[in-house]
Structure 1
Amino acid sequence: MRLNKIEKIAEAVLFASGEPVSAARLAQVLECDIPVAYSVLDRVRDHYEEQDGAVEILVLNDCYQMVTRELYAPHIRAALEIKRNQPLSQAALEVLAIIAYNQPVTKSFVEQVRGVDSGSVVNTLVERGLVEENGRLELPGKPVAYITTSNFLRCFGLQSLEQLPTLPSENDGEDAGENEIEGQVSFDEQTGSDRMAMAAQLK
């Protein structure tokens, strides 16, 4: 498959951005309709799949991102002397699970579920690019709402939030305490090579 001029423009935008690019944004660049932009991006993605090279195009919700394949992560890390980030703490994993399954949520909601102060943990997740602010909720005091990011999807090998593991039913969690969450996640923030293995119980 050879890319036409418009597809090469999309390829250049993805390469130069380094961040997820939405179909809506590309549609503005190409001066075309959003469905057309999706079609162009999908063709670019198929092109890289066909080439089976060191680069691939990931789909993250309605965004596309050009990345190196995880197979080459150790070599890239060695060449650039990149150190693995410290793994997330159990508290961070619990907070991340709560936000992922209930977003948008406030810090107070997270603290209500966990039963302990969680403000600093939420801030840590924001610093690591896994969670971000998403406006304010129409509640007393208009608290800040938090949602997961495209980086969260990339790190856990998900294309969208619909691919999150299904939560156990209430019957499965009869023995869980009120406002409890138990989670376990395998995580590699640098390369996204590990996949989410999350088991959570909310009641």
Structure 2
Amino acid sequence: MEIERLTTLAEAVLFASGDPVETSRLALTLKISEKELIPIMEHLQERYTKTESALQVMRFSKSWQLGTRPEFAFVIREAMEKKRMQPLSNAAMETLTIIAYNQPVSKGFVERIRGIDSSSVVNSLVDKGLLEEAGRIDVPGHPIGYRTTPLFLRVFGISSLDELPDPNARQEDKFTGELDGYSEIETESEPIPPDTEPPEPIPESQEGTA
């Protein structure tokens, strides 16, 4: 049925976005009107309700989002708390410092400075979102280069690399090894953003555009 197809498409868009999707944008993507979108979203919520899914459809004034049901908040907080408790190791901090001040650089460059294999450390920092690949380095062998990410800036409380401490007189408190900023950013992905009004769970039949 057409409603099933449209419901699945809407779910895919919302899931991939992660953030609220404007009603007009979602309707345009599905090639339907904003009024026609409402029963589609209600049908998606019915799917979740029938299967006792942890997910729910959240309706804001002008947008829609997928989130988790309130009764699962405790387990989400527990998972996020465990992630927050994980500090950066000395090896990770050392590797981040080397790359931050010399980027883009290869793993080999890092290893020459540290004197030990650093592949696992670099890969871990990539997994955490603090480093990313930056193409090939123009040196023999053309190894993959690595650089810091926007998340790195947010974690360490700076707006650009120009604000990095003087390498000859670095401030230790800028790079503490605790992922306080990182955990705070992760929390932003929780179902209901703290700086928005609580959404209206579906179904709550309301007429008019969302």
Question: What's the TM-score once normalised by structure 1's chain length?
Answer: 0.48
TM-score, normalised to structure 2, is: 0.46
